[in-house]
Structure 1
Amino acid sequence: MTNKILDASEPVGGNEVLKFGPVENARSVLDQIIQDGARRMLQAALENEVEAFLERHSNKVDDEGRRQVVRNGYLPSRELVTGAGTLEIQQPRVRDKSPEADDRVRFSSSILPPYLRRSKAIDELIPWHYLKGIATGDFSEALQSLTGAPVDSVNASTIVRLKKAWSKEYETWSSRDLSERRYAYIWADGIHVNVRLEDQENQRQCLLFLMGATAEGEKELIAVRDGYRESESSWMELLSDLKSRGLTVEPQLAIGDGALGFWAAVRKVFSKIREQRCWFHKSGNVLNNLPKSAQPRAKEALHEIWMAETRENAYKAFDRFGEMYKAKYPKAWECLSKDKEELLVFYDFPAEHWKHLRTTSPIESTFSTIRLGHRKTKGSGTRQASLVMMFKLAEAAVKK
């Protein structure tokens, strides 16, 4: 039996073999299908948005009962760069035929603003690529791997313009009023990044992060600042600035790594706040004091402590860990036991919050992407640019 060769546009059934021609720009058929599907969905959404607008104004009629707000063809087609590729879109146009200009209504799409040329997902990739060390003139090529085609709307001048706009955004955000903000919990941590264009002494930068959770459970980025992770004075400047801008109601609990200079500072600024040490950092420090052969079992034993259903069971698991490792590996035991109470403070809070309070995971997830980039590349350009890009990355991650 011979197999029939069909064109991609024909239906397939039986023993036919589907034959595809060469794919332009090395793009797969699947990518093309996804891109076309995204274009159709976006076009349909725009059509539905216009129809809903026309329906809302269907009561506007002239003396003969004819509608005044009607469709008026399409605007010239435009390209939109998205995570699914570059989509060619035609936006419907609306006309209000009312004779009096003051009576006319104007249609403005909330889905596709007039001058939008890139989706938010593409703009969010720009800080990430910058932090990986991609030169401003190479962004179009770097984004092509995602979109499947050159991204002409992202060039060197675009990056320069965005950096300036984001710098102003960061300055405004960093001086915003906080008198209405209330945080039940705060998480603190710092990340070291590489800076290409500074002198030798300033090529390693640390950025301090503070994140908070409101009583309603919403996580927010509170502060991002250049400083030193282990420095009390750096954290004191950050916290004092927040308080001067109105953050005077003390959070109930702070979560962070025990090595942070944050703790000495926060006790002076928020004297009643309780302290929870991060189990992620603590586990890593404990395991570093054990030989590799002992680490898998020790990791399980640590897990039994912080995942215990009650504080009493956690104490018992703590004791079992001591029985297993105290005598043979005293440094590992000392590292764990010195923060025993601070590691178990989360038990005093609602059980449904425990998974969020045991670690600094709300900001670790943001750091993981950034750290990956900095291990493999030479980093971003200047300290200020790095600060602004990290702010944009963290801001986007918190909103997701």
Structure 2
Amino acid sequence: MPEPIVTLDEESLRADLKELIRKTVEDTLNGLLEEEAGDLVGAERYERTADREAYRAGHYGRKLATTSGEMTIRMPELKGMRFTTAIIERYRRRETSAEEAMMEMYPAGASTRRIEDVSGMLWGPGVSAATVSNLNEKAFEAVEERRNGPLERAHPYACVDGIYLKRSWGGSYENVAVMVAIGVNDDGCREIIGAAEGFTGSSECWRELLSWLRSRGLRGVRMFTGDKAAGMVGSIAEVFPGAACQRCTVRFYGSVLAKAPKAGRAKVAAMLKAIHAMESREAPERKAAEVADELESMRLGEAAKTVRGGCAETLTHTGFPAAHWRRIRTNNAIERLNREIRRRTRVVGAFPDGRSALMLATARLKYVAGSEWGARRYLDVTLLDE
């Protein structure tokens, strides 16, 4: 086999091309700045004219981090006038795409320290924690605007739940709750319709949350799905009197299994699942009575009492199309979001206040909603009109 005549060092070629691009961009920016300074002065270099408005006073160096590498920009200085340029925003040290990437990294789950490390690898010089915080403030402004934005579509189904996070208070730690609401719109896609700070056991907090959603345009709700939180059912009846209330079947199972011995929980769980495997409203009610009788025969009186007293609350979904039952009888969709929030907030640990916890949770929800989660059709809502 003949020896290769020409060899190509790809790594060296990439480095040379990157340096060529960096140098070209740097020279172009410096040339544009010189032209802009000349227009402001009203005269060329060393030119004496009556129309001169300012005088040149040299240059000062300024670093600019870009995807092509770090550049040194020669900013003109003027006497008699402050030099302002439309080419590079004042105090900017990175190109916009780099800042936008960092703003997206924090809600996506990267910690401040991780962002510093990644920015150093991608753009050369690292960024300080203060810079990341300032960028996050910009991102949170957009998050807050979206959180309070109008709800333009009708949502026949809605699901509400809360998640507790840690916050510091006077040297100790306590819980702060973020209440989250999602809905299925009239196109059958899921939307995050609200997130607010509150206390999930308070009737007043639930009433405020639901009233806030209604003031933003939430309408057409036929059924709410959630846990049997104190005050939630009454608040729904007060704010949305025409909406039904479905208790999450998974949470109901948990309440029953908590009153059963560990050795018998698998059998009790299978009995409970058989209740909601029925195909009509009457059949689950009969099956629930049979399960309660069987639990009493197993000497599980408290579990049987819970089934008799709470099973009817889990059968509201049977008044809607059967094709929707599996997805509307639980709040599993919102539990998935809660796990996303928990994964992100675990990095932070304890928040300094409730607002910071709410903003980070809402930012994470905004990030998830922009993915396939919010674009994929979840239910065929046309069945509601049949």
* Shorter-chain TM band: 0.5 to 0.7
Alignment of 1:205 onto 2:176: yes
Q: Which moved more, 1:258-267 or 1:224-233?
A: 258-267
Shift of 1:339: 2.4
Specify the structure having the higher radius of gyration (Cα): 2
Shift of 1:199: 2.5
* 1:117 aligned counterpart, secondary structure: helix
Task: State the partner residue of 2:309.
Answer: 338
Equivalent of residue 193 in structure 1, options 160, 165, 176: 165
Preserved contact between residue 67 and residue 122 of structure 2 (Cα < 8 Å): no
Task: List gaps (5 residues or longer) in structure 1.
Answer: 1-76, 81-87, 89-113
Shift of 1:170: 3.3
- Cα separation, partners in 2 of 1:184 and 1:244, compared to 1, 3 Å: same
- Cα separation, partners in 2 of 1:361 and 1:389, compared to 1, 3 Å: same
Shift of 1:155: 4.5
**Structure 2: distance between partners of 1:207 and 1:186:** 17
For residues 92-119 of structure 1, what are the alpha-carbon distances to aligned partners after superposition, in whole Å with 9 as ceiling and x for unaligned? xxxxxxxxxxxxxxxxxxxxxx832388
For residues 122-179 of structure 1, what are the alpha-carbon distances to aligned partners after superposition, in whole Å with 9 as ceiling and x for unaligned? 755523647xxx5x345434x69xx99899666513431233123322332233233x
**Structure 2: distance between partners of 1:374 and 1:173:** 20
For residues 61-91 of structure 1, what are the alpha-carbon distances to aligned partners after superposition, in whole Å with 9 as ceiling and x for unaligned? xxxxxxxxxxxxxxxx9649xxxxxxx9xxx
- Cα separation, partners in 2 of 1:315 and 1:392, compared to 1, 3 Å: same
**Structure 2: distance between partners of 1:155 and 1:309:** 60
Preserved contact between residue 198 and residue 205 of structure 2 (Cα < 8 Å): yes
Shift of 1:355: 2.0
Equivalent of residue 193 in structure 2, options 210, 216, 222: 222
**Structure 2: distance between partners of 1:151 and 1:333:** 65
Preserved contact between residue 103 and residue 135 of structure 2 (Cα < 8 Å): no
Q: Which amino acid aligns with 2:207?
A: M
Equivalent of residue 140 in structure 1, options 108, 116, 127: 116
Shift of 1:270: 0.7
Shift of 1:256: 0.3
Equivalent of residue 355 in structure 2, options 355, 375, 384: 384
Equivalent of residue 156 in structure 2, options 166, 184, 189: 184
Q: Which amino acid aligns with 1:296?
A: A
**Structure 1: distance between partners of 2:290 and 2:124:** 58
- Cα separation, partners in 2 of 1:215 and 1:234, compared to 1, 3 Å: same
Shift of 1:324: 2.3
Shift of 1:372: 5.0
Alignment of 1:357 onto 2:328: yes
Alignment of 1:283 onto 2:253: yes
Preserved contact between residue 179 and residue 196 of structure 2 (Cα < 8 Å): yes
Preserved contact between residue 188 and residue 262 of structure 1 (Cα < 8 Å): no
Task: State the partner residue of 1:233.
Answer: 204
- Cα separation, partners in 2 of 1:312 and 1:383, compared to 1, 3 Å: same
**Residue pairs, 1:19-98, within 5 angstroms:** 79=67
- Cα separation, partners in 2 of 1:169 and 1:123, compared to 1, 3 Å: closer
Task: List gaps (5 residues or longer) in structure 2.
Answer: 1-64, 70-94, 372-386
Q: CA RMSD in A?
A: 3.3
Preserved contact between residue 128 and residue 393 of structure 1 (Cα < 8 Å): yes
Preserved contact between residue 103 and residue 136 of structure 2 (Cα < 8 Å): no
* 2:201 aligned counterpart, secondary structure: coil
**Residue pairs, 1:219-368, within 5 angstroms:** 219-247=190-218, 249-327=219-297, 328-368=299-339
Preserved contact between residue 157 and residue 222 of structure 2 (Cα < 8 Å): yes
- Cα separation, partners in 2 of 1:231 and 1:128, compared to 1, 3 Å: farther
Shift of 1:398: 3.0
Shift of 1:202: 6.4
Preserved contact between residue 106 and residue 136 of structure 2 (Cα < 8 Å): no
- Cα separation, partners in 2 of 1:307 and 1:152, compared to 1, 3 Å: farther
* 1:251 aligned counterpart, secondary structure: coil
Preserved contact between residue 185 and residue 254 of structure 1 (Cα < 8 Å): yes
- Cα separation, partners in 2 of 1:360 and 1:260, compared to 1, 3 Å: farther
For residues 283-339 of structure 1, what are the alpha-carbon distances to aligned partners after superposition, in whole Å with 9 as ceiling and x for unaligned? 111111111111111111122222333334423432332132135122222223222
Task: State the partner residue of 2:135.
Answer: 162
* 2:259 aligned counterpart, secondary structure: coil
Preserved contact between residue 208 and residue 229 of structure 1 (Cα < 8 Å): yes
- Cα separation, partners in 2 of 1:307 and 1:228, compared to 1, 3 Å: same
Shift of 1:361: 1.3
- Cα separation, partners in 2 of 1:322 and 1:352, compared to 1, 3 Å: same
**Structure 2: distance between partners of 1:264 and 1:392:** 30
**Scaled by the length of structure 1, what TM-score is found?**
0.62
- Cα separation, partners in 2 of 1:152 and 1:262, compared to 1, 3 Å: farther
Shift of 1:363: 0.9
**Structure 2: distance between partners of 1:324 and 1:148:** 64
Alignment of 1:126 onto 2:106: yes
